[in-house]
Amino acid sequence: MPHKGASGKIPRRRHGDANPKRPLSGIRVIDFSHYAPAAYAAVMLADLGADVVRIDRIGTPHPGKEDGLSRGKRAIAIDLKQPMGLKIAYELIRRSDVLVEGFRPGVMERLGLGPKAALRKNAGLVYARVTGWGQTGPLARRAGHEINYMAIAGILALIGRSSEAPLAPPALLGDFAAGGLMAAFGIVSALYWRERSGLGQVIDSAMVDGLVNLGSYFLTLNALGDWTARGTNEIDSGAPYYDVYATSDQRWLAVGALEPQFYTEFVRGLGLNPADIPSRHDRGNWPRLREQFGRIIRQRSLSDWTAEFAGRDACVTPVLELAEIGGHPQNVARRVPRGGPRGLPRPPPAPRFSGSPATTVRPEPNPARDARAILSTLGYKGRKVTELIDNGVVGLPLPHE
């Protein structure tokens, strides 16, 4: 069921992906994000075929390089404090399916672009608000970063060795998984609901909520008494058969031999007889097994161990650095990553679809290149565009600093 705007008329598709096979072909997104969580949500939509227009601030230097949070998007710099700039933003909203923003609560309202104002312009709009703490609660208007959201959600306490402090990982779980991916999932779900109801809605996507959701399995195990202190469980480096080990060349080997058949292959790959070593089922033997496994693995290089386990179904793999992943046979077969602009690596869209394959087709956004085309879709052409630029309503990017 096509959605209807405030006028009651079904909005016309004025721009977008012309390839009908891409999953989100024809979906139009206005992206007000400037930080990783919301920006990545918009990237996910662009990867699957949505036409994403990012709204930049006037005077913001154009990155001049791919940053991993811009692929597939177009961009235009608008002075939203000018009435004409706000008018252009409203015209984009009227023609769009989704708005994504990642500011603290109240910022979009002060700009005159909050959910109430936007939904008055377009009743079918999916308005996604991506923040750390959410729109409500005592911390809603406070600053924070992934480490803070992980700490409050109980996830940070799960990560690290038993004898060490909790370890803050790179911003994957909070910013990208609990933030960007959860928001993208919510947006697509809201679009599906709109097809049945004809109405848009507001999505309150908080990273702390997403982190608690991601950790729900461990939350349940803990409540049942089946999850003990950090670094003492089977799948958090507590077990000697689920850990990383140093090799002779100071590289690392990842071992995930949880199931009996994989553990047997792992032990045999080390040159040991499973019958001659202590039972792994007695946790009291774990320190001895860890020392024995580590001593053997330190005697050979990573490439030697990689070759040793290449033919064994033992859940043993090399720990690759980022610069190495493109050369691994599995990644070569899957084309992960593949070449992007200027030879930089660019991952293929995920997941993969059999009937509607997604491919990123647009170059990186550039307001100097994109502005005229975006304004053209709103009916602004020729002298009018020049006026908007001369009056500072629409800006061209400053050189990269």
How much is the pLDDT for 346? 77
Q: Where are the alpha helices (DSSP H) in 2-136?
A: 36-47, 83-94, 107-110, 115-121
Please report the sign of the dihedral spanned by the C-alpha atoms of residue 100, residue 105, residue 109, residue 111: negative
- Residue-wise pLDDT tens digits, 277-292: 999 999 999 999 999 9
pLDDT greater than 90 at residue 128: yes
Q: Which two tokens stand for residue 66?
A: 């791919």
pLDDT greater than 90 at residue 157: yes
How much is the pLDDT for 399? 43
Is residue 125 within 8 A of residue 97, CB to CB? The reply is yes
- Secondary structure (DSSP) of 216-261: HHHHHHHHTT---STT-STTTT-STTEEEEE-TTS-EEEEE--SHH
pLDDT greater than 90 at residue 369: no
> What is the residue extent of each domain of the chain?
28-214+348-395, 242-335
Tell me, rounded to whole angstroms, the distance of Cα 83 from its chain centroid. Answer: 34
The CA-atom distances, in angstroms, between 144 and each of 104, 147, 213 are 10, 8, 19
CATH of domain 242-335: 3.30.1540.10
What average pLDDT does this structure show over 164-169? Answer: 94
How much is the pLDDT for 400? 41
Mean pLDDT of the chain: 89
pTM confidence score: 0.88
pLDDT greater than 80 at residue 237: yes
175 is catalytic: yes
145 is catalytic: yes
- Secondary structure (DSSP) of 260-297: HHHHHHHHHHTT--GGGS--TTSGGGHHHHHHHHHHHH
The CA-atom distances, in angstroms, between 186 and each of 33, 38, 277 are 16, 12, 50
Cα separation of 73 and 341, whole Å?
13
- Residue-wise pLDDT tens digits, 326-367: 899 999 998 887 666 665 677 888 888 888 877 656 667 777
How much is the pLDDT for 362? 67
Q: 255: Cβ–Cβ under 8 A, 6 or more apart, which residues?
A: 241, 242, 243, 244, 245, 266, 293, 315, 316
Q: Of 67, 145, 249, 282, which one is the catalytic site residue?
A: 145
3-state secondary structure of 74: strand
Cα separation of 69 and 21, whole Å?
24
Return the minimum-mean-pLDDT range out of 17-26, 49-58, 112-121. 17-26
How much is the pLDDT for 20? 63
Cα separation of 123 and 5, whole Å?
5
Cα separation of 112 and 114, whole Å?
6
How much is the pLDDT for 352? 86
Cα separation of 315 and 313, whole Å?
6
How much is the pLDDT for 57? 87
Q: At 71, is the pLDDT very low, low, confident or very high (cuts 50, 70, 90)?
A: confident
How much is the pLDDT for 16? 44
Tell me, rounded to whole angstroms, the distance of Cα 139 from its chain centroid. Answer: 23
How much is the pLDDT for 217? 95
How much is the pLDDT for 213? 96
3-state secondary structure 307-324: HHHCCCCCCEEECCCHHH
3-state secondary structure of 345: strand
Q: Of 97, 175, 209, 370, which one is the catalytic site residue?
A: 175
How much is the pLDDT for 336? 83
How much is the pLDDT for 343? 59
Comparing CA positions, the residue from 126, 255, 269 lying closest to residue 184 is 126
- Residue-wise pLDDT tens digits, 240-299: 999 999 999 999 999 999 999 999 999 999 999 999 999 999 999 999 999 999 999 999
How much is the pLDDT for 13? 42
How much is the pLDDT for 127? 98
Specify burial of residue 220 (Cβ count, 10 A radius: 0-12, 13-18, 19+).
exposed
Question: Of all residues in the chain, what percent are helix, strand and coil, respectively (each to 5)?
Answer: 40, 15, 50
pLDDT greater than 60 at residue 113: yes
- Residue-wise pLDDT tens digits, 387-399: 998 888 998 654 4
Q: Do domains 28-214+348-395 and 242-335 have the same CATH topology?
A: no
How much is the pLDDT for 5? 46
Q: At 158, is the pLDDT very low, low, confident or very high (cuts 50, 70, 90)?
A: very high
Q: Residue 394 is inside which H or E element, if any? A: strand 394-395
How much is the pLDDT for 60? 64
Domain 28-214+348-395 has what CATH class?
alpha beta
Q: At 21, is the pLDDT very low, low, confident or very high (cuts 50, 70, 90)?
A: confident
